[in-house]
A and B are shown apart, each in its own frame.
Chain A
Amino acid sequence: MDNPLHFADGELPEDYLKYTHRKVLWILGGILALFFMLILSISVGAVQIPPYEVFMTLIGQNLTDKWDRIIWNIRLPQALAAIICGAGLAVAGVAMQSILRNPLASPFTLGISNAGAFGAAVAIIFLGTGRMTSTTAGAVIINNPYVTTICAFIFCMLATVAIIAIAKIKASSPEVVILAGVALSSLFTAGVMFLQYFSDDAQLAAVVHWTFGDVGRAGWPEVYLMGAIVIVACIYFIANRWNYNAMDAGDETAKGLGVNVEQLRNVGMIVAALVTAVLVSFLGVIGFVGLVCPHMVRRIIGDEQRYLIPGSIVMGALLLLVSDTVARLIVAPYVLPVAILTAFMGAPVFIYLLLRGYHR
């Protein structure tokens, strides 16, 4: 580099390619780790299944009927739900941070999760979809999960529509959108508190229980539905990675590069909100992943969206899968909802990354 004659005009920039290859290696390493974690996650639990047998079962061999049932009916859907949910929240988070030009933005900044919690509370209290059956462990059940889910989803979408309308009126101004999101968030939180104040013990327990996000709630139909939506969202954001790079360079630069910034903001917000709404209404509130995973990846491979978006997807999936696995083991035979564990698992890693600074 010191000798300008070393590079004839138009030569390929090898040091830059080396630099980008390193980022690709990080992402590939993450995918590999995710694969091993998936096997491990399915292998551990009340019934231990050796990893090799898990792998053989997954590729279609029938070893024992009992293992088959445990893997295919219980552990695999839960592990996949964790991967899908983590990936979806992280990709929504990285998009919101870029769209709203704010490092604290996350899928929940727009108030969607609180709207979902409010919807679930309405269903449980007014439609009687949740109650307490006994006083032993795991007593609180949502006895009509579909109505609760649909109700949560309706309120998530109401919040989404409100945000989109505000964004339209104020021409996608990031500050207005983020402030409106905070306002909506508080509004729905107040709504939940209001409902809780007038509910009986059983309803209260059911409402609180619902808000503890838990990937164990998902069965195969939910996994398929969430998976389809999250995959579409990931493809959308990855396809727009150059436009997000342009937007990060400033709205004017982006417009000068031919990017329709307003449209990119609005569509991105709708996609991120939809993903969040679906995940929240099926699984409950799972915080932290959407906010922090993108920042973990930023510290490791930087802000370039070409690598940041896929990196965040992998990191989100990995964090939630690890958290869920630990949540199933830590107080066995009881199983904690993953929402409690995500911050326990993620925060120390994140603080370490903050202190260490950027990776070079």
Chain B
Amino acid sequence: MILNVDELKFMYRNKGILDEIAFSINEGEIVAILGPNGVGKTTLLKCLNRILVPKQGAVSVCGDMIDSLELMEIARRIGYVPQRVETGRLTGFDAVLLGRRPHIGWNVSEKDLRIVEAAFRTFGIERLRLHYIDEMSGGELQMVAIARAFVQEPKILLLDEPTSALDLKNQIEILHRITHIVTEHNIAVVMTMHDLNTALRYADRFILLKDQSIHTCGDKNVITADEIEAVYGVPVMIGELEGVPCVIPRCLCNGNGNGKKTKIPQDEEGSTYVRNS
């Protein structure tokens, strides 16, 4: 067990956001946090590495309570990739090198440079090394941000919508690489996701959030049409296409039983949908 969350409760001002959240994660696992917009997926992620401080409850990382650790020590154990990163006039290499921040003293060492260089190779983005990040596309920037979290050499990686800015090829590629690194280095990944198909394909376990707490939690078998409808309020079909599980929303066209509900569940639509982050 690498991460353990117990009775976590988070309030924003006086509004309850998360309540009675409890789960644990093992080495080598990829866990997807699923749920509709505004349910508190990102908030939960931020509570795990103390970007937000929960009102109650305990989070422990590698056996230590997180509030007993210094910020830099947390950063050496947990990497975090937010949905949005700011850009500036610096190169991709500079941006990834920043991921070594928790490990560097006064200045970067040769080791830091070698690690960053290797990360660019591992992710296959060598061409971005000396590109300015304010000239990169959303997808390239996301690759750089994920590479930055990897050179942090964390035990746990928190990814907030890692694929939302990526095109189909990049989505598959980056998740494939993440899966590879997770099994090779025995680290754990917790990611929030909107795309159920991608989540089903790459995650080992799922946490479905609804009404401030965990609705269901478990492996692929918990993702059923009923559960998804219960969490997202949208009827879906689940099937397999050449062995790959697929989730497709049923038609919500006017006229059927759900006629009043005109909201289109766009986020489940598939990999090609690109959110503007």
Give A residues with C-beta under 8 Å from B. 1, 4, 7, 9-13, 15-17, 19, 101, 239, 242-243, 245-246, 248-250, 252-253, 255-260, 298, 302-304, 358
Contacts and interface: CB of A to CB of B under 8 A. Distances in A.
A248 B101 contact: no
B130 A16 contact: yes
- Contact-size category for B: 35 or more
16 contacts: A7-B117, A13-B116, A13-B117, A15-B130, A16-B117, A245-B90, A249-B98, A253-B82, A253-B86, A256-B49, A257-B75, A258-B73, A258-B75, A258-B76, A259-B71, A358-B89
Nearest to A17: B113
B94 interface: yes
Q: What 3 A-B pairs are tightest by C-beta distance, nearest first?
A: A258-B75, A256-B80, A303-B88
A307 B148 CA distance: 20
Interface in B63-121: 70-76, 78-82, 84-86, 88-91, 93-95, 98-99, 101-102, 104, 106, 110, 113-118, 121
Given A10-B117, A13-B113, A260 B98 contact: no
B8 interface: no
B114 A260 contact: no
Contacts of B114: 10-12
B147 interface: no
Given A13-B129, A256-B80, A249 B117 contact: no
Given A1-B127, A256-B75, A13 B98 contact: no
A252 to B, nearest CB: 4
Contacts of A246: 98, 101
Interface of B: 46, 49, 51, 70-76, 78-82, 84-86, 88-91, 93-95, 98-99, 101-102, 104, 106, 110, 113-118, 121, 126-127, 129-130, 132, 145, 148-149, 152, 158
A250 B93 CA distance: 17
**Most interface-central of A17, A242, A248 (chain B CB within 10 A):** A242
A98 to B, nearest CB: 10
A4 B116 CA distance: 15
Contacts of B99: 257
B121 A1 contact: no
A237 B110 CA distance: 24
A242 B130 contact: no
